[in-house]
Amino acid sequence: MLNKFIGKIILSIVFLVTVFSLNLLAQTPDELMQRANKYYQNNQFEQAIDSYKEILSGGYESGALYYNLGNSYFKTNKLGYSIYCYEKGLKLSPNDEDLLYNLRISNSRTVDKIIELPKLFIISWWEGIVTSLSISSWSVLTLIIFWIFLLSIAGYLFIRKIQIQRAAFFIGSFSLASLIVVSILLFARIGRDASTNFGILQTQIYSAKVTPDSKSNDAFVIHEGIKFVIEDNVNDWAKIRLADGKIGWIQKDVFGQI
């Protein structure tokens, strides 16, 4: 009995020491970012890619992280992967000028130059407003306006000075109207992201099929970096729609979903 008890104590000590050692060896996202950036500065782009992906695998995302990873892929001539990263970064930071600029540069180097089907002005205008901020940014803005509305109500009810009550009334009315508009934009952005999935081709060249079958006829040929809408999924195949309206089926392992 005593030997078993001592054995359990020893195993517990070994376990605790192992866990403590692993915690010491584990690097924080900031440390990994610094290491990855150092690899990039030293032109060790493959090592930089591995380090940036290690941060992503830990559940951390940011526009800056995808920007750096996209740049690393661009330096290794992996155009499809770089465009995919810039697009992922823009979902988190829609107005990031560096991401937008590098995405334009990358898109200019793609083979496929597809003319997008024209949209009504009102649709383009609405989509521009909805996508001008990320879901998190719209949420923060909605919360701020909501608190302004609550404070204006409190000021109107509890402060007896006429001037302050008038100011509170006008602020409350304006903030209520703003809250309604911003809430609509927030839910529109959530709905858009939930209903529309985009993909970026990551292989150099691919022949889309008429049906989800590798033996079916070719529908059209596309090249790395092209962006498309994912409309349906069947087993290992995805139905895609190009900007010019063409529809075809491609295998899921050749593209990255934004």
Q: Is the pLDDT of residue 2 over 60?
A: no
* Confidence at residue 255, expressed as pLDDT on a 0 to 100 scale: 96
Radius of gyration of the chain (CA): 26
pLDDT tens digits, residue range 154-203?
999 988 888 999 999 999 999 999 999 999 999 999 988 877 789 999 99
> Dihedrals φ, ψ of 119, to 5°?
-115, 155
Least confident interval from 27-31, 138-142, 240-244: 27-31
pLDDT tens digits, residue range 87-121?
999 988 888 999 999 999 999 999 998 877 777 88
Tokens, residue 253: 């392992």
Provide mean pLDDT across the span 50-74.
Answer: 94
* Confidence at residue 28, expressed as pLDDT on a 0 to 100 scale: 80
User: How many angstroms separate the CA atoms of 196 and 194, rounded?
Assistant: 6
Q: Percentage of the chain with pLDDT > 70?
A: 90
* Confidence at residue 10, expressed as pLDDT on a 0 to 100 scale: 44
Helical pair 45-57 and 63-75, crossing angle rounded to 10 deg: 150
* Confidence at residue 26, expressed as pLDDT on a 0 to 100 scale: 52
* Confidence at residue 15, expressed as pLDDT on a 0 to 100 scale: 44
Q: How many CA atoms lie within 13 A of 124 on its CB side?
A: 6
> Dihedrals φ, ψ of 9, to 5°?
-65, -45
Q: How confident is the model at residue 40 (pLDDT cuts 50, 70, 90)?
A: very high
SS3 for 36? Answer: helix
Q: Is the pLDDT of residue 23 over 50?
A: no
Selected residue with higher pLDDT from 94 and 212: 212
Q: How confident is the model at residue 7 (pLDDT cuts 50, 70, 90)?
A: very low
Buried residues in 79-113 as b, exposed as e (16+ CB within 10 A): bbbbbbbbbbbbbbbbebeebeebbeebbeebebe
* Confidence at residue 49, expressed as pLDDT on a 0 to 100 scale: 96
User: How many angstroms separate the CA atoms of 211 and 64, rounded?
Assistant: 39
Selected residue with higher pLDDT from 29 and 97: 97
* Confidence at residue 124, expressed as pLDDT on a 0 to 100 scale: 86
Calculate the average pLDDT of the chain: 87
* Confidence at residue 8, expressed as pLDDT on a 0 to 100 scale: 43
Q: How confident is the model at residue 13 (pLDDT cuts 50, 70, 90)?
A: very low
Cβ atoms 84, 58 nearer than 8 A: no
User: How many angstroms separate the CA atoms of 128 and 95, rounded?
Assistant: 11
User: How many angstroms separate the CA atoms of 166 and 160, rounded?
Assistant: 10
Least confident interval from 116-120, 130-134, 212-216: 116-120
